[in-house]
């Protein structure tokens, strides 16, 4: 089994934390992993992207080919469209439905969602920021997004991802672990 995942968003949104958690889950499960990251002007709101390749077989490249991504996980809806050429014909997009308007020529929200809604692919959208706030963890939108994406990742289980969240955030204390697990669980519920 294999899963090629593109994670994308804007600097500071927690994309690389999602990559770390998926990587931790895969490593503990004995799954082969290759990762490549692009850190745009992340401190200035530039794009951040990670190619994450997981497989039970040997992986020879850390980059996902055009048309090869099984899942695009995006903290920002316009960023999900940026990586459409990489999405496979059966691929899934999991994205926030709240634009992060950080450029003057950002597309109109209506046009942005019309394009996403017109895709033949499965597109899962949610106001992850609001769900995170409702869960008591305003900074946990990335964990909500990971929870939404978890059923589509498939090569690692939801429980393996929960365990990885506990491991990755352990050094920050039990309260942070619990807050992130709650946000993740809310994302999983929302994906159903």
Which CATH number does the domain housing residue 36 bear?
Answer: 3.40.920.10
Which pLDDT belongs to residue 106? 86
Which pLDDT belongs to residue 112? 92
CB neighbour list of residue 22: distance below 8 Å, 6 or more residues apart: 5, 52, 54, 146, 153, 156, 161, 164
Which pLDDT belongs to residue 141? 96
Does residue 103 lie within any of the structural domains? no
CB neighbour list of residue 171: distance below 8 Å, 6 or more residues apart: none
Does residue 92 lie within any of the structural domains? yes
Task: Report the alpha-carbon distance of residue 120 to residue 142 in Å, rounded.
Answer: 25
Crossing angle of helices 141-153 and 15-28, rounded to 10°: 40
Which pLDDT belongs to residue 102? 76
Q: What is the pLDDT of residues 28-41, one digit of tens each?
A: 999 999 998 765 55
**pLDDT grade for 134, boundaries at 50, 70 and 90:** very high
Which pLDDT belongs to residue 41? 52
Q: What is the pLDDT of residues 46-88, one digit of tens each?
A: 678 889 999 999 999 999 999 999 999 999 999 999 999 999 9
* pLDDT over threshold 60, residue 42: no
CB neighbour list of residue 101: distance below 8 Å, 6 or more residues apart: none
Which pLDDT belongs to residue 13? 80
Average pLDDT, the chain: 92
131 token code pair:
């769900």
Q: What angle do CA 126, 129, 133 make, to 5 degrees?
A: 120
10 token code pair:
């804007």
Does residue 65 lie within any of the structural domains? yes
Phi and psi at residue 54, in whole multiples of 5°?
A: -125, 135
Burial environment of residue 25 by CB neighbours within 10 A (0 to 12, 13 to 18, 19 or more): buried
CA nearest neighbour of 145 among 21, 3, 4: 21
Give the total number of structural domains in the chain. Answer: 1
Share of the chain above pLDDT 70, in %: 95
Instruction: Determine the structural domain holding residue 89 and report its residue range.
Output: 2-97+108-190
Does residue 184 lie within any of the structural domains? yes
Which pLDDT belongs to residue 37? 74
Does residue 102 lie within any of the structural domains? no
Which pLDDT belongs to residue 39? 57
* pLDDT over threshold 70, residue 43: no
């Amino acid at each position: 089994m294999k899963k090629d995942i593109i994670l994308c968003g804007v600097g500071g949104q927690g994309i690389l934390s999602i990559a770390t958690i998926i990587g931790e889950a895969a490593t503990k499960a004995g799954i082969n992993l290759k990762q490549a990251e692009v850190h745009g002007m992340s401190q200035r709101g530039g794009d951040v992207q990670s190619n994450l390749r997981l497989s039970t077989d040997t992986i020879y490249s850390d980059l996902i080919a055009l048309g090869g991504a099984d899942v695009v996980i995006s903290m920002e809806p316009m960023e999900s469209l940026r990586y459409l050429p990489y999405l496979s014909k059966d691929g899934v997009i999991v994205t926030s439905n709240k634009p992060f308007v950080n450029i003057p020529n950002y597309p109109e929200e209506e046009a942005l969602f019309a394009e996403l809604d017109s895709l033949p692919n499965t597109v899962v959208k949610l106001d992850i920021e609001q769900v995170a706030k409702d869960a008591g963890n305003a900074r946990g939108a990335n964990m909500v997004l990971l929870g939404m994406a978890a059923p589509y990742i498939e090569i690692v289980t939801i429980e393996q991802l929960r365990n990885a969240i506990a491991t990755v955030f352990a050094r920050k204390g039990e309260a942070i672990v619990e807050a992130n697990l709650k946000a993740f669980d809310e994302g999983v519920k929302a994906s159903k």
